[in-house]
Structure 1
Amino acid sequence: MMHHIPQPPHSAGLGLRGPRPRVEPSQVPSPIDAKEIDRVEWERQPYLTSSGQKPPLCTTDYTALDQGNSSPKFVRLSTWALPSTSRLANDCRVPLAAVFQPFAPLDPREEEVPLVDSGDFGPPRCERCRAYINPWCTWVAGGDRWRCNLCAHETQVSPDYFCNLDANLHRLDQLQRPELNRGTVDFAVGEEYWASHPPATLTNPYYSIEPLPSGAKPPSPMNFVFAIDVSSDAVRCGALKAICSTLLAILYGGDTIDGDNIEPCFPPGSRLAVLTFDQTIHFYDLSSDSVPMLVVPDIEEVFVPLRDGLFVDPNQSRSAIEYLLESIPIRFENVVMRDSALGSAVRASLAALAGRGGHVVMFQSTMPTIGPGALVGQPKDADLVNTDKEKTLYKVRDIAWADIGEACAMEGVGVSMFLTPSQFIDVGSIGAVSTLTGGELFFHPRFDITRDAAVFVSQFRRLMSRTQVYNCTMRVRCSKGLRVSTYRGNFMQTAPTDIEIAVFDSDKSISVTLEHTGKLSPREFAYLQSAVLYTTADGQRRVRTCNVGVQIVELAGNIFQFADMDTIVCHFLRQALWNMPRRKMSDIRDDLTDDCSALLVGYRLQCASTTRSSQLIIPEMLRGLPAYCLGALKTKPLKARTVSPDVRNFYAHRLMSMNIRSLIHQVYPPVLALHDLSDDIALPDVNGNVQMPSLMRNSHLFMQSHGVYLIDNDELMVFWIGASASPQLLKDLFDQDDIMTLKTSMYRLPPLQTRLSTQVRNILANREISRGKLAKLYVARQNLDANELEFSDMLVEDLNNGTFSYVEYLTVLHNQIGTILVQGDPTTGLRSPW
């Protein structure tokens, strides 16, 4: 008989009123079953994008063969069978949404995205809707014209693009033209597609003696500004030393501060500038080996005191850069200034990159208290929680930060920030700059150089080595009868149809919500095309198009049969996060539960109306939806317990733009039982293939006190060690046979020559490769370590985080659905009966 552990220490959950449900936890629907079935099906065979099959789940490591539809790695839809009318969509309650990740990394076994050079005339485009040519277009008039699949307009073919048709009305050169047989394509474009300088304004965020440029902006290699906080807080916590050491390793390779050796990964052809700041801004002339420092004390009207020597090639100025980065920690070692003019530093970086665009990487350790956007004090969040005024905690306190972010976005300057605060830093305000420019936030509260250095280095390396582009404009076009109603993500929206993203990388995604503008014919397909106009890191102007054609159906059963649970969860969660600065948090949480209930009501009424009302009916393709919705309620931005506004705002920023796979891992972190690994798992077989272990349910009810478990949400990994774990198990994994002497501050497993150690390190390496960086690692011994609280909060199916357990949550959904079925009016608002 299996003896389960008691529930680990946890933040209290919401008790269910009335008698508790007597339900066997192992009998309730679980997302794990679907994940394992999907993994077995797709890990060993390729997914053909035009096969008409439902695509693999985002958590499966699959390969896709582009047959004219973009790979699901680039675009996923909430259902792969779109309803023909808005009435059918409303009756089913399945949200019509799509998630685009245009620069998603591909498996090494997959073909790279092809680059098409269409010459001086540019890529062929529809004369009416301006859609780009794609595999779903048709050819008429003997190949002299092509009919747009989005608006049905016929466009004349240019003479140099003409080709005769075969008997099937296909071009004879179709197989030789990637844009006619591949769903995802890059088009090289000319001067007509260059980015434009922002229009002149009455006020400028920085002072310039030169006239502001206007007109088209010639593409150039991506430039970087590294702006480093040198206030006393940055020096004291060790962040300044870690920053300089890591930047040197990024540029030239070598040992990092955590002892690892890395290869240089700075984008070739790019140039960089370094500036430091506290109460003043410090620029450095990198053209001279002595590296003179120029101090700008005017932080209200910032200007750049030099042009020559500000940006340099890191290889040509290696001696100057090495000297500067080695001397900065020493130069500011005894600094006593605690003030930091972050707003002025961002403006100074913008002034340096004005007219060309680029990427600013900020390092900040304290709340900015002087200069533009100066912030004072900390909101009394304890008095605002669970009130109508709580939403003010998730708004920008000083509008200057939004203005700075918009100015950067208009110039094509993205801003990413590494935050290493020892106290409140107001992520909700300063993070707005990264949100509006498409940059990324990295948050290391109470930074400890021993504990956090490895993750810091890994994040910095990922930031510089992944695919990243800049000066981006994105638009999603739909076929006739559909339109995009909203965009969700980290960007600046300048028009109802266009969004501006200063920097866009391979880890980011954008969500869109679709709606009907007319009836769709089930005899045809519906089409979506996303187009991102961007400049590559090496200075080429391109357009990346992602195309997808999906079937149109008139039966509700088909809509649910092809529903995509991952995309639906992403849509629900981002809609909730978008409402954080606008609505009361309790209402947002209720709305998320209502969305889940409404979808299940739609299935019940349209597909299972003859079943008894006392039954909880969940469609097969959405069996894990309640667990995911409960997990969304328990994420750090939405949980009903006290959470620092900085933490809520940081995770809200991350979840609004992260790729869909990482989002699902945040919502329902995967759990592994390491003590039950079979001898052949996570080890290469005779063919060199490595099979990863199966996952287990995310609850203490499936854990044992003699076990060792790993939980991982892509940001944090926790090893939980049961009090009865055998000494040999500990020895094989941690090189310690006594749980009381086990070191809990490790950031990597010791490289032992045991089978178990090799297996677990292979699992961790696989996950590190999948996400591109390390996650923070904690060790939690049963009833001994504070880290167990973090582990407990990640057990989604347990009673914690200020809300229900999974079984109780299913009971709430069941009661809501029963209430609606009895009332007979599915259009009324759903609210928890408790």
Structure 2
Amino acid sequence: MVRPPQPAVYVILIDVSHTAVQSGMVATATRTILENLDRIPNDDERTKVAIIAYDTSLYFFSMPPGTTESTMLVVSDVDDVFLPKPTDLLVNLTEARQSLESLLGRINDMFQDNHTIGSAIGPALQAGFKLMAPIGGKIIVLSSSLPNIGAGALKNREDLKVLGTSKESGLLQAASPFYKTFAIECSRAQVSVDMFLFSAAYQDVASLACLPHYTSGQTYFYPAFNAARSEDAIKFAHEFGEVLAMPIMLEAVMRVRASKGLRMASFHGNFFVRSTDLLAMPTVPTDQSYAIEIQIEDTLTQPFVVLQTAVLHTTCQGERRIRVITLALPTTSSLSEVFASADQVAIATLLANKAVERSLTHKLEDARDAVHQRLVEILSSYKSSMTSAGAGANAQLAISENLKMLPVLVLGLLKNVGIRQSAQIPPDLRAYAQALLTSLPSQTLIPYIHPTFYSLHNMPPEAGTVGEQGVILPTPLPLTSERLERHGLYLIEDGQTIFLWIGRDAVPRLVMDVFNLPNYEVLRGGKTTLPVLDNEFSQRVNAIIQKTREMRRGVYYPHLYVVKEDGEPPLRLWALSCLIQDRADVLPSYQQFIGQLKDKVNGANNY
């Protein structure tokens, strides 16, 4: 140990510019912190907290322990950031509890009439870093607009003419080197950064998401956030509260070792690779995914190989620990055993990471081609080595039972907002989708690329009631709009958003039972909260939505949208884009996709 185990440290940077206050973000954020003070990990009573507000200046709050007082100190020179006071800015959560509570109750009022427009995120980050650099910990940034003052200032580079062209990937790369350089400095000092982004206009998610990416943090995105819509306030308060309460590992490093002949070749995920194979993670959240590619360098002669992952970390209770996971895998010279033991979920997770990485170093089109090619290679090698009907252009596509979902998972990935071919996707939404594709654990990533689709109007009587395993869910349908009936009610969800699709011929009784409205005509589409009504059907539908929200790992609280069959086109298209087996725009249907694969696989053998 270089030093005693560090305490947990949280520095929260709150945007208090005019936009942030007007959207209700500041009031929601301060109330959420106040409500979650008891949930912040603090068993050993060493946890430290600081609050810094910023617009085009920085506002520090001094909270002397044992009082209910706090004073605001303003630093308006953002080009040369300094701490206005040596003590009482980063305070012990237990000792300064009273002054912290009274401060959180007042911040929104202090800035209620703030007309300043502009954002000095870079300087605010530098200030937060100066406060905690000797210890390390987590910086949580809440930001409502594009940073345009001081270090890390960005310009609006959203150019609609570039979307859908080969230049589009430029918009997904960081625009300023500040964020990566600062992130690496953070990593060295054991500081990780979480980003909460709320802008209604372009915010350059691609540049800002660099910070969480290299410091093992996470990015959360609330486009056009408005707390006056209760759904927006509830989603943000839930997710922010979960992030504050999350048990985290501190000052962690991870390494994967393996038997002779194997080498860790490349690493994917939110961390910084220090030296060749040491992954530095200043704080480790509970739900993230990491993918590591292994190269076989020598002929393996042993009957099995061993992989060992070790994470050296400090718990948030101040104990230094090593967590070790050891995995022994048999070796084989039989290709059929290799195919039969392949894991389609792991393959899809790795391909998602590789696709995003390639779209940043090359072009989006290259990323899609590379994923497609990888699938063709898997199918071709299976065909040539495992099937007797090797020849012939009409041979069926063959693959082992455990990989039969791989083509549809790959199709879902190719149709995901993060990499799909389209000239309509704003760069911020694309960059956020890419952040999800590279950080969601497989249990959450798979529904994100292969959504779930239920029919509710004719579900079996037990669906939506409580069984031995909790709420019973209906049987999922294939992801195609052929299954939509005009009188029906359907649920489509991808772990980030839930759609309730209602057909134009839905009977008044159904509309009454679920929405408490007389008929389809008066029902409005859009973001909503379903009423819980005094009838069995309403209670079952609500139970299914509730269960859907609970069963997805992580802090996410998906919005619920009502989508009318003849409602607003953008909302309808968004919901239908989850039905990945359909044809959409330039993207093939599942049948067409399988046809293309078949041609490639059969064609490959005929040359």
| TM-score bucket (shorter structure) | over 0.9
1:366 aligned residue: 145
* Corresponding residue of 1:86: none
Q: Is the 8 A contact 1:628 1:668 kept in 2?
A: yes
Q: How does 1:176-255 map to 2 (within 5 A)?
A: 191=1, 216-251=2-37
Percent of residue pairs identical: 27
Report the secondary structure of 2:91's partner residue: coil
Q: Is the CA contact (8 Å cut-off) linking 2:195 and 2:208 kept in structure 1?
A: no
Task: Give, in whole Å, the separation in 1 of the partners of 2:164 and 2:481.
Answer: 29
SS of corresponding position for 2:174: coil
Pairing partner for 1:775 from 549, 558, 562: 558
Within 5 Å, give how 1:658-737 maps onto structure 2: 658-685=440-467, 689-737=470-518
Deviation, structure 1 residue 538 = 1.9
Show the counterpart of 1:644: 426
Task: Give the CA deviation at 1:745.
Answer: 4.6
| Match 1:295 to one of 45, 55, 74 | 74
The structure 1 residue matched to 2:98, chosen from 316, 319, 326, is: 319
Q: TM-score, normalised by structure 1?
A: 0.69
Q: Residues 804 and 711 from structure 1, CA distance in 2 versus in 1: closer, same or farther, beyond 3 angstroms?
A: same
Q: Which residue in the other structure is 2:368 paired with?
A: 589
TM-superposed deviation, 1:467: 2.9
Deviation at 1:765, TM superposition (A): 2.5
Correspondences of 1:333-482 after superposition (within 5 Å): 333-383=112-162, 385-387=164-166, 389-449=167-227, 450=229, 451-482=231-262
Q: Secondary structure at the match of 1:282?
A: strand
Asked if residue 598 in structure 1 is aligned to residue 377 in structure 2, the reply is yes
- 8 Å CA contact 1:720–1:781 kept in 2: the answer is yes
Secondary structure at the counterpart of residue 511 of structure 2: helix
The corresponding residue for 2:581 is 797
1:546-573: per-residue Cα shift (whole Å, max 9, x none)?
Answer: 1111111111111111111000111111
Q: Using the alignment, how far apart are the partners of 1:491 and 1:704 within structure 2?
A: 46
CA contact (8 A) 1:477 1:529 kept: yes
Residue by residue over 1:514-533, the C-alpha shift from the partner in whole angstroms, topping out at 9 and shown as x without a partner, is: 11111123x62211111111
1:386 and 1:584 in contact (8 A); partners too: no
3-state DSSP of counterpart to 1:456: helix
Supply the distance in 1 between the matched residues of 2:366 and 2:582 (Cα, whole angstroms): 22
More RCO (CA 8 Å, sep 6+): 1
Q: Can you give the 5+ residue segments of structure 1 that lack an aligned partner in the other structure?
A: 1-190, 192-215, 253-263, 824-834
Instruction: Tell me, in whole angstroms, the C-alpha distance in 2 between the residues paired with 1:682 and 1:606.
Output: 46
- What CA deviation, in whole Å up to 9, does each residue of 1:76-124 have, x standing for no partner? xxxxxxxxxxxxxxxxxxxxxxxxxxxxxxxxxxxxxxxxxxxxxxxxx
Q: CA deviation at 1:666?
A: 0.9
- Code of the aligned partner of 1:239: M
Is contact 1:381–1:645 with CA below 8 Å preserved after alignment?
no
Structure-2 change in CA distance of 1:294 and 1:469 (3 Å): same
Q: Partners of 1:694 and 1:652 in 2: how far apart?
A: 30
Compute the RMSD of aligned alpha carbons: 1.8
Tell me, which stretches of 5 or more residues in structure 2 are unaligned?
A: none
Counterpart of 1:197?
Answer: none
Contact 2:36–2:245 (CA under 8 A) maintained in structure 1: no
Tell me by how many angstroms 1:430 deviates.
Answer: 1.7
Distance in 1 (alpha carbons) for counterparts of 2:97 and 2:591: 60
Of 534, 537, 540 in structure 2, the residue corresponding to residue 756 of structure 1 is: 537
CA–CA distance in structure 2, aligned partners of residues 759 and 714 of structure 1: 20
Q: Secondary structure at the match of 1:682?
A: coil
- Among 518, 521, 539, which residue is 1:740 paired with? 521
- The 8 Å contact of residues 639 and 802 in structure 1, kept in 2 or not, is answered as no
For 1:240-279, list aligned pairs within 5 A: 240-251=26-37, 264=39, 267-268=42-43, 269=45, 270-279=47-56
Residues of 1 paired with 2:416 and 2:290: CA distance? Answer: 20
Checking the alignment, whether the CA contact within 8 Å between 1:381 and 1:390 is kept in structure 2 is no
Report if aligned partners of 2:528, 2:562 keep a CA contact under 8 Å in 1.
Answer: no
Deviation at 1:512, TM superposition (A): 0.4
CA distance in 2 between counterparts of 1:278 and 1:632 reads 38
C-alpha separation in 1, matches of 2:527 and 2:365: 38
TM-score by length of 2: 0.94
Structure showing greater Rg: 1
Aligned length: 595
Q: Which residue of 2 aligns with 1:811?
A: 595
Q: CA deviation at 1:679?
A: 1.6
Provide the rounded CA distance (Å) in 2 between the counterparts of 1:526 and 1:565: 21
Q: Using the TM superposition, give the Cα deviation of residue 743 of structure 1 relative to its aligned residue in structure 2, in angstroms.
A: 4.4
CA positional deviation for 1:306: 2.6
Q: Residue 746 of structure 1: CA displacement?
A: 5.1
- Residue aligned with 1:476, SS: strand
Aligned to 1:539, the other structure's residue is in SS state: coil
The letter for the 2-side match of 1:245 is R
3-state DSSP class of the match of 1:804? coil
2:37 is paired with a residue whose SS is helix
CA distance in 1, matches of 2:12, 2:586: 41
How much has 1:748 moved relative to structure 2? 2.9
Residue correspondence of structure 1 range 72-151 to structure 2 within 5 A: none
Tell me how far 1:712 sits from its aligned partner: 1.0
Native 8 Å contact 1:634 1:801 kept in 2: no
Instruction: Measure how far apart 1:647 and its partner are.
Output: 1.2
- Indicate if the aligned counterparts of 2:418 and 2:431 stay in contact, CA closer than 8 A: yes
Q: Is the 8 A contact 1:364 1:420 kept in 2?
A: yes
Q: Quick one: distance in 2 between partners of 1:506 and 1:665? A: 19
